[in-house]
């Protein structure tokens, strides 16, 4: 007798994780691989925060916290909004989550019904559409391109057959690194407010920008849900901690969901989260390294034949249009991995329409790795016919 597997569980894989597995298999067989596939800091939690966590370990029983997190953490995040953006976000609108990934589940469950339609850009972070699908919400993909910096606009929304129930934006975005300019963001947030569209703003790459201003939706709309995380700028990826800024009408439903689904985010990570806001020097040194890495790739990727690059205003990604050099990005990425020893991610992870034409390079690693990857890619291109 076959026992069913729920259809909601049959979501596509997160391709970058499959690339990581293939790269690990090559490494286990003795090959040297340079990792430009994964989007995580190669640095750990800053020193002072690590020290603080060590002290807490000996002192605190680390039981459950409130579902919304330690009050001291919510207070500290609230202060962060004032200090960083000049925006008042009361601590009782902050909700700590198990990474932003846990935040998405709570945000989507509390804001959308099964059958709702939620618009989002393609290319975009794949988990948005896969989580929505598993919850019975229909992702309405908007094909965006270089002309709008790979970001959705009001005019895209107006062209949909009917206005959606929600809109997800990421700025800086994964995989393109592009930022929504402040005026456009204001227009988008105002349009969503006026038309009953719940805006979900993924701000996980805030803090990692290169000359552009990342705007928080918390300063533009009281109905928007803001999603953020300690995984990127704060360099605490494995600690699985994030937060939401929650509109007042969603706070209680979201709290009840969190109590039942997760009880609370990890207590030890929350203590680290409180301390990490005071580690600016180390965190800014990380950003300076990303800036150097970005400069290396923007200068050297064209020498390797990758010439059509998205602006990379922020985050740690360069999204390259490879359609002039290859027909199929997944095949190209496999060849680059196996023949040149450089792991990259095909655009198909981010975009079911045009992803086969793109490759994402992550520059979260060391500067030496960026140089080495370009040296390998250049040598490989010189001796390889791709088409
Ligand atoms: C745009 C974006 N949002 C959310 C996440 C999830 O991050 P976490 O769950 O570690 O906060 C990622 C991870 O790469 C991401 O790129």
Q: What pLDDT digit, counting tens, does each position of 127-158 carry?
A: 999 999 999 999 999 999 999 999 999 999 99
Q: Give pLDDT, residue 209.
A: 97
323 and 257 within one domain: no
Q: Could you tell me if the CB of 231 is within 6 A of ligand 1?
A: yes
Give the ligand 1 atom nearest the CA of 104.
4
111 and 216 within one domain: yes
85 and 184 within one domain: yes
336 and 229 within one domain: no
Give the ligand 1 atom nearest the CA of 205.
1
Query: Is 57 part of a structural domain of the chain?
Result: no
Query: Is 56 part of a structural domain of the chain?
Result: no
User: What CATH number should be reported for the domain holding residue 253?
Assistant: 3.40.640.10
189 and 136 within one domain: yes
Lowest mean pLDDT among 5-9, 96-100, 293-297: 5-9
263 and 360 within one domain: no
Query: Is 52 part of a structural domain of the chain?
Result: no
**Residue bearing the CA closest to ligand 1, atom 14:** 39
**How many whole angstroms from 58 Cα to the centroid of ligand 1?**
31
Q: pLDDT category, 14, cuts 50, 70, 90?
A: confident
Mean pLDDT of the chain: 95
Helix (H) or strand (E) holding 320: strand 317-321
Q: Tokens 């970005």 identify what position?
A: 294
**How many whole angstroms from 201 Cα to the centroid of ligand 1?**
12
Domain's final residue, options 219, 246, 279: 279
28-51 confidence digits (pLDDT tens)? 999 999 999 989 998 999 999 999
Domain's final residue, options 279, 312, 338: 279
Q: Give pLDDT, residue 387.
A: 56
What percentage of the chain has pLDDT greater than the value 90?
90
**How many whole angstroms from 128 Cα to the centroid of ligand 1?**
10
Q: Give pLDDT, residue 283.
A: 97
328 and 301 within one domain: yes
Query: Which alpha helices (DSSP H) does the chain contain, by range?
Result: 15-28, 47-59, 71-85, 99-111, 126-134, 154-159, 182-194, 248-261, 267-276, 280-300, 329-335, 367-383
Q: Single out the residue of 31, 1, 36, 10 nearest to residue 360, CA to CA.
A: 36
When pLDDT is averaged across residues 97-112 and rounded to a whole number, the result is: 98
Query: Is 50 part of a structural domain of the chain?
Result: no
Among 204, 214, 360, name the best residue to mutate to test ligand 1's pocket (greatest count of ligand atoms within 8 A of Cβ).
204
**How many whole angstroms from 57 Cα to the centroid of ligand 1?**
27
329 and 230 within one domain: no
239-255 confidence digits (pLDDT tens)? 999 999 999 999 999 99
The predicted model scores a pTM of: 0.95
Give the ligand 1 atom nearest the CA of 241.
11
Q: Give pLDDT, residue 386.
A: 62
Q: What angle do CA 178, 242, 98 make, to 5 degrees?
A: 130
292 and 264 within one domain: no
Q: Give pLDDT, residue 11.
A: 86
Query: Is 253 part of a structural domain of the chain?
Result: yes
The answer to whether the beta carbons of residues 200 and 223 sit under 8 Å apart is no
Query: Is 387 part of a structural domain of the chain?
Result: no
When pLDDT is averaged across residues 362-387 and rounded to a whole number, the result is: 91
Lowest mean pLDDT among 1-5, 89-93, 124-128, 224-228: 1-5
Among 98, 102, 103, 174, name the best residue to mutate to test ligand 1's pocket (greatest count of ligand atoms within 8 A of Cβ).
174
Chain centroid to Cα 26, Å, comes to 27
167-190 confidence digits (pLDDT tens)? 999 999 999 999 999 999 999 999
Structure tokens at 259: 């109590």
Domain's final residue, options 256, 279, 302: 279
Q: Single out the residue of 270, 215, 244 nearest to residue 104, CA to CA.
A: 244
295 and 167 within one domain: no
Structure tokens at 368: 């030496």
Q: Does the pLDDT at position 81 exceed 90?
A: yes
Q: pLDDT category, 265, cuts 50, 70, 90?
A: very high
Q: Could you tell me if the CB of 244 is within 6 A of ligand 1?
A: no
Domain assignment of residue 306, given as a range: 7-44+281-382
**How many whole angstroms from 11 Cα to the centroid of ligand 1?**
17
- The dihedral through the CA atoms of 45, 49, 53, 54 has a sign that is positive
299 and 228 within one domain: no
195 and 101 within one domain: yes
Cα–Cα dist 196/251, whole Å: 18
Q: Could you tell me if the CB of 204 is within 6 A of ligand 1?
A: yes
**How many whole angstroms from 100 Cα to the centroid of ligand 1?**
6
When pLDDT is averaged across residues 112-116 and rounded to a whole number, the result is: 97
331-350 confidence digits (pLDDT tens)? 999 999 999 999 999 999 89
**How many whole angstroms from 14 Cα to the centroid of ligand 1?**
12
Q: Give pLDDT, residue 12.
A: 82
Q: pLDDT category, 323, cuts 50, 70, 90?
A: very high
Structure tokens at 240: 């699985």
Q: Could you tell me if the CB of 170 is within 6 A of ligand 1?
A: yes
Give the ligand 1 atom nearest the CA of 229.
11
Q: Give pLDDT, residue 373.
A: 97
What's the total number of domains in the chain?
A: 2
Q: Does the pLDDT at position 385 exceed 80?
A: no
Query: Is 19 part of a structural domain of the chain?
Result: yes
């Amino acid at each position: 007798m076959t026992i069913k597997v729920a259809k909601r569980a049959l979501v596509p894989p997160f391709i970058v994780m499959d690339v990581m597995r293939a790269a690990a298999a090559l490494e286990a067989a003795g090959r040297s691989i340079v990792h430009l596939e994964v989007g995580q800091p190669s640095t750990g939690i800053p020193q002072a925060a690590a020290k603080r966590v060590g002290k807490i370990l000996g002192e605190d029983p680390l039981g459950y916290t409130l579902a919304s997190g330690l009050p001291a953490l919510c207070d500290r995040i609230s202060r962060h909004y004032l200090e960083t953006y000049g925006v008042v976000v009361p601590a009782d609108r902050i909700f700590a989550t198990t990474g932003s990934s846990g935040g998405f589940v709570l945000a989507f469950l509390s804001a959308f019904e099964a059958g709702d339609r939620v618009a989002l850009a393609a290319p975009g972070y794949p988990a948005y559409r896969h989580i929505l699908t598993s919850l019975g919400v229909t992702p309405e993909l908007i094909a965006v391109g270089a002309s709008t910096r790979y970001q959705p606009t009001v005019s895209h929304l107006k062209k949909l057959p009917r206005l959606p129930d929600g809109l997800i934006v990421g700025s800086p975005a994964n995989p393109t690194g592009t930022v929504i300019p402040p005026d456009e963001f204001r227009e988008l947030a105002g349009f969503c407010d006026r038309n009953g569209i719940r805006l979900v703003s993924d701000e996980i790459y805030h803090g990692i920008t290169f000359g552009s201003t990342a705007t928080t939706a918390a300063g533009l709309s009281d109905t928007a849900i803001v999603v953020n995380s300690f995984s990127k700028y704060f360099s605490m990826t494995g600690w699985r901690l994030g937060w939401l800024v929650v509109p007042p009408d969603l706070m209680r439903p979201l709290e009840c969901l969190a109590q039942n689904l997760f009880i609370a985010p990890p207590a030890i990570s929350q203590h680290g989260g409180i301390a990490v806001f005071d580690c600016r020097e180390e965190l800014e040194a990380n950003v300076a390294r990303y800036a150097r890495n970005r400069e290396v790739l923007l200068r050297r990727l064209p020498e390797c034949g990758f010439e059509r690059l998205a602006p990379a205003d922020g985050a740690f990604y360069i999204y390259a249009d490879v359609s002039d050099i290859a027909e199929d990005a997944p095949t190209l990425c496999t060849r680059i991995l196996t023949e040149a020893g450089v792991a990259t991610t095909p655009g198909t992870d981010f975009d079911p329409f045009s992803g086969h034409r793109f490759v994402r390079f992550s520059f979260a690693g060391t500067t030496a790795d960026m140089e080495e990857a370009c040296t390998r890619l250049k040598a490989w291109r010189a001796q390889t016919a791709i088409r």
